[in-house]
Structure 1
Amino acid sequence: MSVPRYTLRLSVKVLSPASVTGFDSEQHLVEGEISVTAKLIGPHLILQATGFESEDDAQAYLPRLKSGLWNLALVHHLAFTPSFERQHITPVPDPYAAERNLAQSFGMAVEGPFQPLHWVIDEEGYAIFKAGERVRSLLFGDASGHAVHPADAVREALASGIERTQSASDAIDEKLATALDLYLSHFYETSIRARFLTLVTVLEVLAPVTEKHPTAVRLVVDLHRNIGDLLTTEVDPDARDALEALRKEIHFRQETSIRRRIRCLVLDEPTLGDIPQREGLARRTVKAYDLRSAMTHSGAIAEEALISAFEIILAVVKSVLLGRLGLA
């Protein structure tokens, strides 16, 4: 009796599915003991890996499929909704009648003879089932897009991310998860100003938190303690509110300014590798970051300067994210 093998299926909704050409038919990404394919169905890009000896083995492969998607988003700017929860799958009582009934109910054309249908699943997320079993999703949607991503480029980015990832863990620290969500969100903004501000926030999240010089920190701590002493005797509500606000502000003053933290990120980030003239890159990044303050306070920014700053920030964000994902 042969040992059953298992299939891992991951589905995500892409922002511009019509921009992905050639994926209306199944594309082979990885060949070997574990094979991986990809296909676009409506707005959903579906990655399917098969050949696993157990459900645990299939589950352990999930980070590789995620890495393929992150690589695609970072290399080709193809955004998707990062829904990675395990899908609910519903067994079908009569697999041979199920496909015919489903086609009749939804008016779907079926080519060739009806095949047995074993599971009906929710879309977006992942599922694990026995190899050879057929699944069907009940979600459909319209697609629209602008930039065109040729099949070869998409296939290469997905396969490269799956095969090159240096992490076998499915865990991503909270800051990196937030930064990735923001990176994907910037594609949904309709203006370059909004996209620029979102990417700047990615840098702020990724920048290391460090304290000021110990001498400066001691002064801040003393002031913080003095405010606390005043609060023990102050009864006026307005005064107490002002003191509480000042104490919170003083607390954050222990940390290095965000501007300096971003400079340190560019100078010290190990995942950036050996970038020539890193000091110059840090200087250009900080200069681009300074436009954020000018934009939020006065709103008057020359379009040419904004485009240049956007390109610098985007390049740094992509380099750091690729490195921290183990894809650099």
Structure 2
Amino acid sequence: MSNATEFIFSAGGFESEQEALELGQSLKNCLLVLGAKWRLGIDVGHDIASGTWADSLKQMMAEKFNLRLVDNVHGLCVIPDDLPSTAMTISASGVVDPKTSQDFGEEILSLLNQSPNLNQKDRLAFELYGSSHYEKSMRSKFLTLVLSIESLLELKDRQDDVQKLVDQLQQIVHDSEICKHEKNSIRGTLKWLRKESIGQGLKRLSDTFLSDKEYGGIPARKFLSHCYGVRSQLVHNGCHSDKTDLNILSSQLDCLVSDLLMRKIGLDEF
């Protein structure tokens, strides 16, 4: 198993297609969570066929050999079990990690029993975290890790006095003599001021889930703020002025994201 890069999970005997879909989706969630726990990338796919058999060939195999040819789907695929099926399907691929097959099987079963419930934002964050391990560029890896955290944010409204100030600014723009296009653009930007900034949201997120953690000897709140500053420099300048090695910073940020994701879904003790 230590040399494997692709895995196939199969199950049968379901009462309905919906029941099979629900278990399959639960398994995909468990794989994403396990990837975050073990700090490795597991690509569970997007349930899309990457290769298909011709309909004529499918029909011939069914008639002559009593076999169902299944398209090559990377992800979850539910098929009828009235005929034996054959295919080269891939349900997940993982980065090699020194875990035993017994560890892997036991942890998947444990997660399935706990049935982690991931909402859309959680799932996106886990997917981005997993994807970061496939990035060949260190800058891309770092930015993907930051984006994984950002995807969890739910920015809160600012206080009433700030809301009133934004209203006043909106009115000033409305009454100005600039062209309509510019007015709409500026007023659209001002709407974002009704919410806390991303930096404030990140600090609140770290205070909620990582208040007891340090990364690189720095409290999580300060470390995350520093990483977001580096992220801004990379996005806007293509490079960062920080003296920290981006490889080291990415490694530390990887640990933070893993801890954050597990605590966010209440499985940090798993």
Provide closer, same or farther for how the CA distance between residues 212 and 54 of structure 1 changes in structure 2, counting only shifts above 3 A: closer
RMSD of aligned alpha carbons: 3.7
Say which of 207, 220, 226 aligns to 1:281.
220
TM-fit CA distance, 1:127: 1.1
Provide closer, same or farther for how the CA distance between residues 172 and 264 of structure 1 changes in structure 2, counting only shifts above 3 A: same
User: Do the aligned residues in 2 keep the contact of 1:208 with 1:261 (CA within 8 Å)?
Assistant: yes
Q: SS state of the match for residue 10, structure 2?
A: strand
Whether 2:159 is the aligned partner of 1:213: answer yes
Higher helix share: 2
Letter in 2 for 1:155: G
Aligned to 2:197: 257
TM-score (ref. length: structure 2):
0.75
Q: SS state of the match for residue 130, structure 1?
A: coil
Say which of 245, 257, 268 aligns to 2:185.
245
Aligned to 1:7: none
TM-fit CA distance, 1:216: 1.5
Letter in 2 for 1:200: V
Whether 2:96 is the aligned partner of 1:135: answer no
Whether 2:140 is the aligned partner of 1:191: answer no
TM-fit CA distance, 1:196: 0.5
Post-superposition CA distance 1:26-80 (Å, at most 9, x none):
xxxxxxxxxxxxxxxxx65221123434444333322331223213322331331
User: Do the aligned residues in 1 keep the contact of 2:199 with 2:225 (CA within 8 Å)?
Assistant: yes
Provide closer, same or farther for how the CA distance between residues 93 and 85 of structure 1 changes in structure 2, counting only shifts above 3 A: same
Whether 2:45 is the aligned partner of 1:82: answer yes
Letter in 2 for 1:69: L
User: Do the aligned residues in 2 keep the contact of 1:119 with 1:135 (CA within 8 Å)?
Assistant: yes
Provide closer, same or farther for how the CA distance between residues 85 and 57 of structure 1 changes in structure 2, counting only shifts above 3 A: same
Letter in 2 for 1:161: L
Whose radius of gyration is greater, 1 or 2? 1
TM-fit CA distance, 1:145: 6.8
- Taking the aligned partners of 1:172 and 1:145, their CA distance within structure 2 comes to 25
Provide closer, same or farther for how the CA distance between residues 227 and 68 of structure 1 changes in structure 2, counting only shifts above 3 A: same
TM-fit CA distance, 1:144: 11
Provide closer, same or farther for how the CA distance between residues 213 and 312 of structure 1 changes in structure 2, counting only shifts above 3 A: farther
Post-superposition CA distance 1:183-230 (Å, at most 9, x none):
233233212111101111121121221122211221011111221233
Aligned to 1:36: none
- Taking the aligned partners of 2:220 and 2:236, their CA distance within structure 1 comes to 25
Whether 2:124 is the aligned partner of 1:172: answer no
Say which of 222, 247, 250 aligns to 1:310.
250
Q: SS state of the match for residue 144, structure 2?
A: helix
User: Do the aligned residues in 1 keep the contact of 2:146 with 2:228 (CA within 8 Å)?
Assistant: yes
Q: SS state of the match for residue 9, structure 2?
A: strand
User: Do the aligned residues in 2 keep the contact of 1:68 with 1:158 (CA within 8 Å)?
Assistant: yes
Say which of 320, 325, 328 aligns to 2:260.
320
Unaligned runs of 5+ in 1: 1-19, 24-42, 99-116
Say which of 168, 171, 175 aligns to 1:229.
175
- Taking the aligned partners of 1:296 and 1:67, their CA distance within structure 2 comes to 30
Post-superposition CA distance 1:237-279 (Å, at most 9, x none):
xx4443333222211112111111001011124xx6xx63589
Higher strand share: 1
Letter in 2 for 1:276: D
Say which of 150, 154, 173 aligns to 2:104.
154
Letter in 2 for 1:243: K
Q: SS state of the match for residue 129, structure 2?
A: helix
Letter in 2 for 1:84: D
Aligned to 1:123: 72
Aligned to 1:45: 7
Size of the alignment, in residue pairs? 255
Alignment of 1:90-129 (within 5 A): 97-98=64-65, 117-124=66-73, 125-129=76-80
Calculate percent identity across the aligned residue pairs: 20
